[in-house]
């Protein structure tokens, strides 16, 4: 499957730059004339001039400069700001094309495309949204235990109802989100030997953001980031610091799954 798209930049709610306008700028730079550039593009002079006028007005510096008279009879040139704008837009376009290509590579079907778009657009209040694949489902009389592999040997276990498993269409190999609120995570410097919580995951502290009552501890987990909210009293007692190895502990019943 191939996915195509176009980049448009806006400023102050107005269209500023797109591939057509960038091509127009390039032709103006090549020909030294708005009318010649318009002709090569198959557009009217007025449309080309209106586009140039709009870009100049919306930019903090003019992209196109016009001169009249003189030995050469005047002409139109692309300013240094215009050259920079062309280069930045083309770099952005390449990044965008790579982004679309990466989605297409992971999208063998329209169903997979829909799931990818849902993953990109998904918004929740939970700080931790970890994406992975289901590698185990153990059904019970009422609930099922679902194991999500998020990569690099890290697995997260969730307990949800059998009805939820069916309504979400979960099967082994399917993609899913594991969503855990930061306030549901307990941190320990030592790995507990006996604990009823199903999830005990080793991580490294990457940053600590102090607050008035609580502090947010951010950790690296496989190639993901995990956040926990810890009271300042607990922070004083445990003396967490950046680079520490810690264990993130949370119940399987506190892991919400999404598809």
Domains and CATH numbers, the chain: 8-105 (1.10.10.10), 125-258 (2.40.50.100)
Which pLDDT belongs to residue 122? 53
pLDDT of residue 145: 96
CA 75 – CA 244 distance, rounded (Å): 64
pLDDT at 225: 87
Q: Which burial class, exposed, middle or buried, applies to 137 when counting CB atoms under 10 A from its CB (0-12, 13-18, 19+)?
A: middle
Give strand pairing partners of 229.
Answer: 216
Tens place of pLDDT for every residue, the chain, 259 residues? 677 788 888 887 888 899 999 999 999 999 999 999 999 999 999 999 999 999 999 988 999 998 765 454 457 899 999 999 999 999 998 888 887 777 676 666 666 665 555 555 555 556 788 888 999 999 999 999 999 999 888 999 999 999 999 988 899 998 888 999 999 999 999 998 888 899 999 999 999 999 999 999 999 987 788 999 999 999 999 999 999 999 999 999 999 998 7
Mapping DSSP onto H, E and C, the string for 66-114 reads: EEECCCCCEEEEECHHHHHHHHHHHHHHHHHHHHHHHHHHCCCCHHHHH
pLDDT value at residue 72: 47
Give the DSSP letter string of the chain.
Answer: -------EEEETTEEEEEHHHHHHHHHHHHHS-HHHHHHHHT--HHHHHHHHHHHHHHSSS-SEEEEE-TTTTEEEEE-HHHHHHHHHHHHHHHHHHHHHHHHHHT-SSHHHHHHHHHHHH---S-SEEEEEEEEEEEE-SSEEEEEEEEETTEEEEEEEEHHHHHHHT--TT-EEEEEE-GGG-EEESS--SS-S-SEEEEEEEEEEEE-SSEEEEEEEETTEEEEEEEEHHHHHHH---TT-EEEEEE-GGG-EEE-
Half-sphere exposure of 151 (CA within 13 A, CB side): 12
Q: Which residue has the tokens 């592999």?
A: 149
| The pLDDT value given to residue 30 | 93
Task: Please report the pLDDT score of residue 111 as a whole number.
Answer: 63
Tell me what pLDDT residue 118 has: 59
């Amino acid at each position: 499957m191939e996915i195509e798209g176009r980049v448009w930049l806006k400023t102050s709610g107005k269209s500023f730059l797109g591939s057509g306008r960038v091509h127009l700028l390039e032709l103006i730079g090549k020909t030294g004339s708005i009318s010649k550039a318009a002709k090569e593009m198959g557009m009217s002079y007025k449309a080309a001039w209106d586009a140039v006028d709009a870009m100049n007005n919306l930019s903090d510096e003019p992209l196109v400069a016009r001169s009249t008279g003189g030995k050469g009879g005047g002409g139109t040139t692309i300013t240094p700001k215009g050259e920079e704008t062309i280069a930045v837009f083309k770099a952005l376009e390449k990044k965008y094309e790579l982004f679309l290509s990466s989605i297409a590579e992971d999208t063998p079907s329209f169903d997979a495309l829909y799931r990818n778009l849902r993953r990109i657009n998904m918004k929740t209040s939970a700080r931790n949204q970890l994406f992975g694949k289901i590698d185990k489902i153990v059904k019970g009389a009422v609930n099922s235990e679902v194991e999500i592999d998020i990569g690099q040997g890290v697995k997260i276990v969730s307990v949800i109802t059998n009805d939820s498993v069916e309504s979400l269409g979960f099967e082994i190999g399917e993609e899913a989100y594991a969503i855990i609120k930061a306030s549901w995570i307990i941190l320990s410097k030592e790995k507990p030997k006996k604990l009823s919580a199903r999830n005990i995951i080793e991580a490294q502290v990457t940053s600590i953001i102090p607050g008035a009552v609580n502090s947010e501890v951010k950790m690296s987990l496989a190639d993901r980031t995990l956040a926990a909210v810890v009271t300042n009293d607990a922070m004083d007692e445990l003396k967490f610091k950046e680079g520490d190895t810690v264990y993130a502990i949370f119940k399987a019943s506190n892991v919400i799954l999404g598809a």
